[in-house]
Every structure is written in C-alpha cells, then in structure tokens.
Structure 1
Amino acid sequence: MAMLSCLGVAHAQQQPENIPWENSVAIAQKMAAGLLERQTGAKDFPTPSFAVEVDLNLDGFPEIFAYRYAPDCDGTHCGNFLFVLEGDSYQEVLGDIPGARLVPQDKIGLSAFKRNGFLDMQSDQMMIGWDGKRYVDASTFPASSLDGAAFMAACQKSRSNEQPAGGEAERVSAECQCRFSRFQVTGFTQPDLDRYTASLGENFEYPTGAKEIAWQALLKNAEDVGTGCDVASGKSQWPPAYFNHGDQPQQKLNFDSFLDACPAQDFILTNHKIGSPDRALSLCGCLAREMPTQGISQEGLDLVAQYYRNEISDADIEAEDADALTFHDKASEACLSQFPAK
C-alpha cells in the first residue's frame, strides 16, 4: 500500500525555518486544544502533545489530527484524536477503532486511495477507511467479485497510444488492473462497472435527468480510483483543492487571540454558510491560514482580533494598518467561496 505521508514523521521532520508549516501547526494546536477539552475534559495540552492539519477529503479545509500526551496513557483521555467537521459540528472519528488511540504516530500514514471521499489511512497493521461518518477497519467494508473482462479491454484500449512505445502495453495493463482491483475492494456493483465501462467507449450516451446525479457520483468514485492508482504508482499526486491563496511570504504569527475572538463574532456565526460554533471555528481556522498568505503582520492580525472583539472600528484598523482589513477581506472571500456545505 503506497503511503503519501506518515503523520508522526511529517511532524518530526519539519524544519524550523518552514514558516507556513509552523503557522499551520500553531493554528491546529489552538483549534485542537478546545476540541480536546470538549472531548476529554482535560484543559491542558502538555508537551510533547501536538496537532497538525491534514486534509483527508482534499476540500481545502483540513481535518485536525491531535496527539495528547499523558504518562501511562490508557487511550481514554489521551493518545490520538482525529476531528472532522460533519454538518454543524466537529466529530472525533477514531474512537470506535480498537487500539487506534495508542498507535505510535510513525505507524500512522495516509494511503494513496480514497474511499467515500476520504483518504484511507494506515493505523499500525490496520487499514482504516471512511464509512461516511467515521473511520472504521477497512476489512469490514463489503468487497465485490466482478467480471472485469470487458472493463480491462475497454480500459486498455482507451489508455493506449496508437503507436505504443516499448513496455507501454505492460504499463497500461497494470494501470487498468489496479483500477479493477480497487473497484472490487470498494464494493462496485457489476451494473456500476458495466456502466462505467460503456463510458470508456465511443457513442456513450451520458445519463440525464434523474439518473444524472447517480451517474456523476459513480463517475467521481471511478475517477478517484484512477487518481489513487496513479498516486500509488508514483505517476501523479492528488491535486490540492482550488483556493485563491495569496502569494506573499508569510510571517510567523501567534493566532491565539484571533482564534479566541473570531468564532464568537456574530457576523461569523450568522453567516448563511456557517450557523454553528464549530462551523465558525472551521472558517476562522481558514481565515487564520489565509491571512498570512496575503502578507498580514502580527500587528495587523492583532488589530483584526480587536475588531472581532468589538473593541475597535474598521476606521481604527485602517488608521493603524491600512492593509490589514484588505488582507482579511481577501482571505474571507477565499474561505467563504469554498466553504463546505452542511
């Protein structure tokens, strides 16, 4: 199983001069502290606890992986936690997997493959996958046994050049076999496979009307399988979510004041895309990530935090830092335009 990254190793190997990474970790740790307190009742976040942002569904709004240290941890109020925004609230999604809290971080990694929209993960010896609500042991998912002859023929034909280079036939065959194997692992039905196979040929009539939604979902799953196979073979990487990031060098910032003030602000909570404290927290995390890419300074960020606490007006901000509100507004537009639906 190809691994994109190992969470523990990624955490340990980041270099001090990587300011975007340091900012990301600072945001994750601030968000995780509140989520962990709610989950475990523990207010502290003792060294060597840590948290990182990891975008498991590649939507541009990362999930929060947190490790809370405790001596002789029993996995109840300490260990590994993964928080995913589902609907109105963050849910912890590792708790139903026996032993997952206690797996060493260097034995946790991301798979090349998605399932139900989220990347599979390796958790020690167990592969875990997304069931639509939480991560579960992937071996519990139903697999299917399919007749793949027509698919393999259509796949190889669609992926082959008219004048194949040496070794290309073997490469194409391996790519198609990977796809077929993954279709079975993820429980594709024979009608689904037959429909997708037909789309690889000529004169395929794309479904319309009521059938179009189901077809688009099937096509997305098939495309995810294809991308996963290309990632596993080293041919490509998962594309990041589109985001209108700024292009300025980031300064290392302290986000605590902003992340305390932002989720409580009425104009955040009452936005039609938000509507709950946890969705507000997710949006505020995005704002915290995006404002540094616009070039905001610590002074500018602190002014925005004061503004969110209703201590100063926008005119006061502009008098102190003419660019801070502009940076904030650009970040806000980028975040809200991509913010996930409930």
Structure 2
Amino acid sequence: MRLFSRPATAFAVAMLCLCLGTAHAQDLPENIPWANSVAIAEKMASGLLEQKTGSKDFPAASFAVAVDLNLDGFAEIFAYRHAPDCDGIRCGNFVFVLEGDSYHEVLGDIPGARLAPQDKIALGAFKRNGFLDMQFDQMTISWDGKRYADASSFPASSLDGGAFLTACQKSKSNEQPAEDEAERVNAECQCQFNRFQVTSFTQADLDMYTASLGENFDYPTGGKEIAWQALLKNAEDVGTGCNVASGKSQWPPAYFNHGDQPQQKLNFDHFLDACPAQDFILTNHKIESPDRALTLCGCLAREMPTQGISQEGLDLLAQYYRDEISDADIEAQDADILAFHDKASEACLSQFPAK
C-alpha cells in the first residue's frame, strides 16, 4: 500500500516547474508519476475552465495541478490559465472543488487571488473547516464551508486561556517529560490557543476541550456526541497545524490501496473524454452527475498506472467506455487490463466522497 504524495509537496513541485526556465527544466530527470498527475489535472482543468470562462483553449504557459486541499484522497484542481495582460476574469488562478454534485470555482470572490504570482502561492500549515489554508502573496485565504475567503474577514474570539494552557502543558509534559522539552511544549500550547482564537472557538468550546485533557472527563453521549466529535476534530486539526508550522510533523495524507508497479508515461485524453460519459459510471449510486463522474474518472486515471497499465491498455479501455468493443475483445488482447481497471475502480469507489 502506498500513499498519495503530500499535497504541499505536490503543490511546491508545480510552482517549481512553473518558475524554472524551460531549458533548465528539460535538464531535470523526468518524474513519470508526477508527469501523469499533471497530464490528468490539465485535461480535467481544460473542461472545467471552459465551463467557467467560456474559453476552449488551454494556452501555452498555462498549467494545472491536482492538490488535495481537504486530505480526503480526491484532489482538487488548481489551474492557471495564461493570457497576455490578464484581467483576472477569464484567466489567472482558479481552484475547482467538488461540492455535492458539481465542481465549484472558489477563488472568484477574493480580490487579488486571480492575479497572484504563482511563485507567491503556497499551502498553509493550518486547516479551517476541513480545508488547508492557502497563501496568495501577502494574503492568507481559508475555507468558510463553501469557498475560500480572506482569512482576515473571519471573526476572532477573545478567550480566557489560562486553564487551557496549564492543562495542555501538563498533558504534553506527561508525554515528553524531558526538561529541555518545556520551552517547546509551552510554544505548542500557545500556538494552539492562538489558533483557537481565530477559528471561531467559543469559551464554552475551549472549556470543554480543556476538561477533556484532564482526568475523569465525562465524554458527551447521545445528542451531544456529534457536536463533541466535531469540536474534538477541530481541536486536533489545530494541534496538527501547530506541529506542521513548527516542522515537527506533516499532515497525514489519505490512504489508498495503490498498485505498486512502475508507471509508464501515458496520454489520458481519450480515456478522460470517454469515461465520464459512460452510463455505468453516471448511474452508479455514488456518482449520478457529470462532475462527480469526472472526479471518479480522474481517480481511475491516476490509479491504473500504479497497476501497470500501458498506453495500449488505456486506449482499449477508452474504446470500451465508448462502447466500441466488449469485455471479450479486451480480454482477447490483454487479460490483465480489466483486472487493472477493476482494482482501480474498487480503490476509488471505496473512498469516494459523499454528496
């Protein structure tokens, strides 16, 4: 079993590739899994950008990258559409997020985000409402539950953190009793408290979480359990974010049951044209919309190369999805192709996000 690449790493590589001179980039050794990921993202982005902007072309110097902003294993699409003297309407930076049945572009209401230079865009250390923050030049943007917004527009709280800091330091000191850890423990707890104040924590939330750090905490049950679990998840995300910010750890990626075969560099265009239109994809009870079908097909395209599929095999599957050939036709040419496809389908559908 292998992991998806850490999204911050993937995003950084995309920025690096964009900023490197072409001649220099050609001197670098080719990373085939990365090249496949970019090819899939750019194919998906071209259709999404056409829906958003009405422009069918994907000009030279444009690019797209898959980046998992909510760490669910299904990548969002960051796209940059180039245009001379870009006005930020049909060109610039775009982020497409699958929400419910459809992809939504989530940067459009943020002044300046469309035109931020690519070398000044990065993932943040923290999550808000389940999505990683992003840095666009001097502006941090955070997820408000439906789209990204300027983090400075979110309300802040003024909390009494004395009891929390004491409980936090005690709980961490129990885990790491070495004397030279005291300063780091204090910094971690202060980081968490500072973050609580800008992530809509109320005093009641903080007091309950503080109590949970001590002994004999009476965990909520019944109707209160769901709210407690959400509070606990937010608090744990804050703790992880502080550890990421300090360099102590990284955000854990989603786990998929990947194949372990060396990948071949593939052209996914025909497959990604045919797959989302196939009835057995669209009518699956987890799919039932064109954009969700595109998400599943993007996942299949990423997964099948890890099973060892070749270009010939992928092209046969495209024909199969267009109803030009049958299962028997594929098996007559390569008995492994449908097995690769079925393993990828199982991996993708088992983790597919709910509506």
Aligned with residue 8 of structure 1, among 1, 12, 15: 15
- Matched to 1:154, the amino acid is A
Aligned to 1:98: 111
TM-score (norm 2): 0.93
**Code of the aligned partner of 2:220:** P
2:127 alignment partner, SS class: strand
Structure 2 counterpart of 1:21, which letter? Answer: W
TM-aligned CA deviation for residue 311 of structure 1: 0.6
Per the TM alignment, residue 187 of structure 1 is displaced from its structure 2 partner at its CA by: 1.6
Name the SS for the 2:58 alignment partner. Answer: coil
Matches within 5 A, 1:175-190: 175-190=188-203
> Is it true that 1:148 corresponds to 2:155 in the alignment?
no
Residues of 1 paired with 2:250 and 2:175: CA distance? 26
In the aligned structure 1, how far is the partner of 2:37 from the partner of 2:222? 43
Q: What is residue 213 of structure 2 aligned with on the other side? A: 200
> In 1, are the aligned partners of 2:103 and 2:291 still within 8 Å (CA)?
yes
Give the conservation status (yes or no) of the 8 Å contact 1:120–1:127.
yes
Say if 1:253 and 1:298, in contact at 8 Å, map to a contact too: yes
Equivalent pair of 1:9/1:105 in contact (CA under 8 Å): no
Q: Conserved in 1, the CA contact under 8 Å of 2:19 and 2:119?
A: no
The amino acid across from 1:62 in the alignment is: A
Residue number in structure 2 paired with 1:262: 275
Question: Which residue, 170, 173, 185 being the options, matches 1:157?
Answer: 170
Distance 2:267 2:176 in 1: 57
Task: Give 1:316's aligned residue.
Answer: 329
> What is the CA–CA distance in structure 2 between the aligned matches of 1:95 and 1:25, rounded to whole Å?
23
Alpha-carbon deviation of 1:83?
A: 0.4
TM-superposition CA deviations, 1:88-116 (whole Å, max 9, x none) = 00000000011111111011110010000
Q: Which residue does the alignment assign to 1:18?
A: 31
CA distance in 2 between counterparts of 1:16 and 1:272 reads: 42
Greater displacement, 3-12 / 194-203: 3-12
Of 307, 317, 329, 2:342 maps to 329
Deviations 1:56-75 (A, max 9, x none): 00111010010111111111
Q: In structure 2, the residue corresponding to 1:340 is in which secondary structure?
A: coil
Does structure 1 residue 286 correspond to structure 2 residue 299? yes
Deviation at 1:11, TM superposition (A): 4.7
Distance 1:238 1:197 in 2: 23
The worse-fitting range, judged by mean Cα deviation, of 53-62 and 199-208 is: 199-208
8 Å contact 1:294–1:327 — kept in the other structure? yes
Q: Provide the aligned length of Structure 1 versus Structure 2.
A: 340
Question: How far apart in 2 are the matches of 1:63 and 1:242?
Answer: 16
1:174 pairs with 2:181 = no
- Given that residues 57 and 117 in structure 1 are in contact (C-alpha distance below 8 angstroms), is that contact kept between their aligned partners in structure 2? yes
Provide the rounded CA distance (Å) in 2 between the counterparts of 1:238 and 1:67: 25
SS where residue 102 of structure 1 aligns? Answer: coil
In the superposition, relative to structure 1, how do residues 288 and 163 fare at CA in structure 2: closer, same or farther (>3 Å)? closer
Which of 295, 299, 302 pairs up with 2:308? 295
Unaligned runs of 5+ in 2: 1-7
Equivalent residues in 2 for 1:41-190 (5 A)?
41-161=54-174, 164-190=177-203
